[in-house]
Structure 1
């Protein structure tokens, strides 16, 4: 049973809406018109807040669901998985390094006669 209880907007929301309404007020606009505009802005702010709360609830539900799935999958596995990282290097840089050392060795020791 979903009850449709009409909640009164918070004083902060009312003040913010009135501030926005006064900031956009036209020169020939009456106070009643400004109040109506402020009420419309309040409704918009409340609707926005409700949407954000719903998004936050939905996100927390998804996060909870994912964390439950991870805990279930990790709890059901009794085997321990050991990851072994093997770094494989290419042989070409080592070959070039050895050749450059040999080249410098022949250059220095070959020409010093």
Structure 2
């Protein structure tokens, strides 16, 4: 099965191309030349539309890929956070508290 890569251009594209061709028409230009110019403009418009559709598809693929990766990272981050929380206290505050109580006790005894 062969894939038909040529699609008939839309009437809107044909009208736009013809308007542009007539707008740039020279006084000594024949109808055939104007028609050929319109066809070239039409191909350019079709190519532009095709490129824009391709860019939009690529962008949507990238956005979808990023969103799925973000979703997966959020899920994995939640489990890592729950497993990695460990409370440890430093010994310095306890030492300072003990020294303060000792100093207060010695002060009141003397």
Identify the TM-score tier after normalising by the shorter chain: 0.5 to 0.7
User: How much has 1:5 moved relative to structure 2?
Assistant: 2.9
- TM-score normalised by the chain length of structure 1: 0.66
Which residue number in structure 2 is paired with residue 96 of structure 1? none
- Spell out, residue by residue over 1:80-99, the C-alpha distance to the aligned partner (whole angstroms, 9 max, x if none): 6xxxxxxxxxxxxxxxxxxx
- Taking the aligned partners of 2:42 and 2:10, their CA distance within structure 1 comes to 9
User: How much has 1:2 moved relative to structure 2?
Assistant: 7.1
Which residue number in structure 2 is paired with residue 4 of structure 1? 4
User: How much has 1:74 moved relative to structure 2?
Assistant: 0.6
More helix by share: 2
CA RMSD across the alignment: 1.6
Q: What 5-or-longer segments of structure 1 have no aligned partner?
A: 81-113
Which residue number in structure 1 is paired with residue 38 of structure 2? 38
- Spell out, residue by residue over 1:43-75, the C-alpha distance to the aligned partner (whole angstroms, 9 max, x if none): 000000000011011111110110000000111
Classify 1:57/1:2 alpha carbon distance in 2 versus 1 (closer, same or farther; 3 Å): farther
- TM-score normalised by the chain length of structure 2: 0.68
- Taking the aligned partners of 1:43 and 1:15, their CA distance within structure 2 comes to 13
Instruction: Kindly tell me the number of residue pairs found equivalent between the two proteins.
Output: 80
Alignment of 1:1-113 (within 5 A): 3-77=3-77, 78=79, 79=81
Q: What 5-or-longer segments of structure 2 have no aligned partner?
A: 83-110
